[in-house]
Amino acid sequence: MYRYYGNLPPPPLRNYFTFFSIMAPYDRLGYWGRPTSTLDWCEENYAVSFYIAEFWNTVSNLIMIVPPLYGALQTFRDGIEIRFVLAFLGIAAVGVGSWCFHMTLQYEMQLLDELPMIYSGCIFLYCVYECFKQEKTVHFLLITILLGFSISVTLVYLQWKEPVFHQVVYGMLVSCLVLRSLFIVSWVYPNLRRLAYTSLAVFLLGFALWNIDNLFCSTLQSARKRVPPLVGAMTQFHALWHILTGLGSYLHVLFSLQIRITYLKHRSYVKLKVCAGHNMMPKSYSSVKGLFFTFVMFLFY
């Protein structure tokens, strides 16, 4: 489970989320010193490396950094609308912020993780709600609304350091994305159901593991002490949340991109294959080839 520290510095034995299990406030101190973040997750601090507070929660963010950066670069090279470049960069920004947060457990790095989640969610909303417009059309009113929303959330969160506020806002954005996606695959492009449902299922699985990590932290920590380190790493469900939400978000961008390509009547379709190996992502509107990570490759033709 995570610990909520409230005002900084954190009191030693206090847990504000009493409906979650309580855990010891500190594991050990490392390179970055005493945590100043308002949250600290279930992984034991500095258990693997003196320089990384939460090792597995940190390195698991690679899945949200490398493939989206390649996707953004390839999308830009192929002249695809800038909104999709920004969507890929949004995922990468969350990955970089999350890496810094879990590596240091410093409050400033926590903001670098959490605020880009809101910003990237707004970019995703723009992509999926503006998919049925003429090419190179820009909806300035929607951009203004989403920008105002992001700024408002940022200002409130900087003053009111309440993690639940951030989580509720992020949940609202995800709900809007899900509802819009379900509408599209139900009434407009039912042939894209497989991609949409895969994205949603992967994300929901990650969310389930995130909750298990919160609710059963003490049990998970006890189990890790009785098994080899690599086996214990498989119980780092917050790290798995990073991997699964990174994959789910990546798939959602591909889903939005495929809607756009289909609407503009470019010849392309998405085919999902499972294999061992890696390749990357879009080549062009008419010929898109790509991956995701070691076991999942998405081929576009």
Residue scoring higher pLDDT (277 or 189): 189
3 band by pLDDT with thresholds 50, 70 and 90: low
- Asked whether the beta carbons of 42 and 213 are under 8 A apart, the reply is yes
Largest CA distance in the chain: 60
Domain boundaries, the chain: 3-266
What is the rounded CA–CA span in Å between residue 99 and residue 105?
Answer: 10
Q: How many CA atoms lie within 13 A of 153 on its CB side?
A: 25
pLDDT at residue number 22: 33
10 band by pLDDT with thresholds 50, 70 and 90: very low
Q: Domain 3-266, what fold?
A: Rhopdopsin 7-helix transmembrane proteins (1.20.1070)
| 48 has a pLDDT exceeding 80 | yes
What is the rounded CA–CA span in Å between residue 81 and residue 285?
Answer: 10
Share of the chain above pLDDT 70, in %: 79
Binding site for Ca(2+): which residues? Answer: 40-41, 43, 45, 54
Strands 270-274 and 296-300: antiparallel
Binding site for Zn(2+): which residues? Answer: 102, 238, 242
Binding site: which residues? Answer: 40-41, 43, 45, 54, 102, 238, 242
Name the pTM for this structure. 0.83
